[in-house]
A and B are shown apart, each in its own frame.
Chain A
Amino acid sequence: MTFSNPSLQPDDIPKYSSLELQQVHYSFKKIMLIERGILWLVLSAGATAIIITRSGAGKPWWILGGGILLTLILAVLLFTAIKSFQNMGYALRKHDLVFRKGWLFEKLHIIPLKKIQHCQVKRGPLERRYGLASLKIFTAGGTGADITLSGLTQQDAERLKDWLVISPGEPINTIPV
């Protein structure tokens, strides 16, 4: 085999910023909203218990203030969920996987395919309800997954898992459905 190592100009380096990221499945927005809603309900239950036990039910200012604060928290949670969903996306290249998530703290990962050790498909109750799945991607070392690619259909998650582990670099349509 002949080894070649041609020099590269800065413009020759493939740029991730020019990639068009593929959005995750639209049903994942519902899951994100439901999860935030559940979080808000738990917070509200805790706050209500504190207001009742500390101030008594007969102090309307506490109830009004708590109500406004909880409504604001709900608005922020739902707004960030929608913005995070809009910002979430992934792209596959011949040699790596690009994945972006988060809105307030946006994070974009580039994982070379040859560094992937194994993948795992995970389906929670809400994901099963909407026919979706998450793909956990692990590289060497560490205790947890490096990234979790959420909002994929189960079929896409399985195909992507097989492609990443069995034949990375090949066209993905060669993986049987």
Chain B
Amino acid sequence: MLQTWDKPRRPSPAIILTGFLKAAKELAGFLFLFLVSTFLRKGKAGSDGNEVEKFPWILLSFLAGIIIIVSQKAIEWYFTRYWLEGEKLILAKGMLVKRRIELPLQKIQTIQIHQNFLHRLTNTCAITMDTAGSEKTEFEIEAIRTGDAQDLQQWVRSLQQETQPIEKNAENTEAKALLQLGFNDFVKLCISENHFKSLALIALFVLGKAYDFSQQLGFDTKGFISKQSSAFEVSFWSAGILLSIALGIAIIFSSIKVILRFYDYRLQQTKSAYEMAWGLFTRHRKTIPFEKVEFISWWANWLRQKMDLYVLRLHSLAESETQQAMHIQLPVTSKKMLTHLSGTYIPVLPAESGTAVSGIQMAYLFRKILMIGLPVTLLTGGIAWFYVQWHACWVLVWLLYFTASQFIFYKNYRIWITDEAIQISRGTWGKEQVVIYLDKMVHVSIRTTPYQRSNGYANLELHLPGKSWIIPYLAKEQADYWADYITLKMEE
């Protein structure tokens, strides 16, 4: 049974425990490094021999750090209250500086529940709510009883619907399962991950740790790496083996990432919202009402296209482009499923029923080569000439690659418009599609350079709350016509 939320209440005291464990983990890391470096430096040049004597003081500082953090968390817990007041959710906190955050229920876009390992131990979770007004999360409670979080989520959603007459009597409890991942889907996801990115992440992590190691222990990591690399005999087989090992590690790393992220992935649809849950160690639950979905997009790299695998993203007003954790991304494992899921947002895609706008003009390609490709080639080639003479010509390979990729991008760019939505398809090696309802846009603009003005081209910019889409190099008359048309549809 749902409880009422009109009386102020505190978060769970587990907030103090989670704060303590987080602080202890961080401080223990520093303490460990100190201990290792102290004992390894003992007796070496530069050591004053007093490291062991300093230890009790370091330990004392460690304990003082823990006490300060725990006290701060305890004060935060004691002075934090949240409750529902009319059509607003209130969060009040702070001892010396009092803060009161009021969130109008209608402005709440997404509600997220996260449950990490510590939360599970204490039967709590973290809850966040976002509105369209700010890129930061406005409402966040680090630890709340799991049942309370779900109850509060239900309350907020039901109160939101009461102020919308169409949904007033809608039965919201029946949920229809839309998506669940099986073993084969996991295999597809693991294989098609970006392994180069994983490799780069591993390399960055290892280099970062090596730097820390050399700083803390005075170990010459750079010299060690350089000595090992010069001793390494480069041959076809040794390079092949090294590459295979690197690729193997990258695949294992990517697979672990996929499993951690998509473990027990569930997407379901209620009468008014999408609900999703995912994650192995940290479990996330997110709800987004249909009307809060601004637009949808999906993409697949070359390999994923071949494997019929896509990532569908539901874009909402509240999310920030830079905070990937806020993005709602769904792995979709077949074209049929993709059609089904996109159908819940827009029944018929503009590509299937709309007018095809002739794509971007050939001048786009020439200008890209002239303004980016050639200057970069000449500059890097010119500099390289002083060092490697004729080998500098290799930079022409990059120019060829750049030209080919821009040509493919130009050929792939497609636009369709109906009287209610626009669909854009673009991409070079992969493909991205975006569908936007015209009335979700907030304004349009036409951008031109002197070259475009004298040759009859223009960029059409479609502005959504917090985001913009640029369609480059349309014929000027066409850009003008679509700007007028979209404006009319926004105003209707």
Tell me the A residues contacting B by CB distance below 8 Å: 8, 10, 13-17, 95-96, 104-112, 114-115, 139-143, 146
Contact = CB atoms under 8 A, between A and B. Distances in A.
Contacts of B491: 95-96, 112, 114
B445 interface: yes
Q: Interface size bucket, B side? A: 20 to 34
Contact of B480 (A8, A15, A106, A107): A15
A36 to B, nearest CB: 19
B466 A16 contact: no
A141 B480 contact: no
Given A105-B449, A140-B465, A110 B483 contact: yes
Nearest to A97: B443
Given A110-B487, A112-B487, A142-B465, A13 B442 contact: no
A121 to B, nearest CB: 20
A109 B443 contact: yes
Given A96-B491, A115-B442, A140-B132, A104 B465 contact: no
Contacts, number: 79
Interface string B478-492: 001101110110110
A165 to B, nearest CB: 15
Interface in B402-458: 441-450, 453
A141 B317 contact: yes
B464 interface: yes
Nearest to A13: B484
Given A10-B481, A141-B464, A115 B443 contact: yes
Given A15-B480, A104-B450, A140-B317, A109 B487 contact: no
Contacts of B483: 16, 110
A114 B491 CA distance: 7
B449 A141 contact: no
Contact of B487 (A16, A104, A106): A16
A105 B467 CA distance: 20
A109 B490 CA distance: 14
Contacts of A142: 465-466
Contacts of B445: 107-110
Nearest to B463: A146
A95 B463 CA distance: 17
B135 interface: yes
Contacts of A115: 441-443, 490
Contacts of B463: 139, 146
Contact of B135 (A14, A15, A96, A143): A143
A87 B378 CA distance: 35
Interface string B325-340: 0000000000000000
B488 A146 contact: no
A141 B132 contact: yes
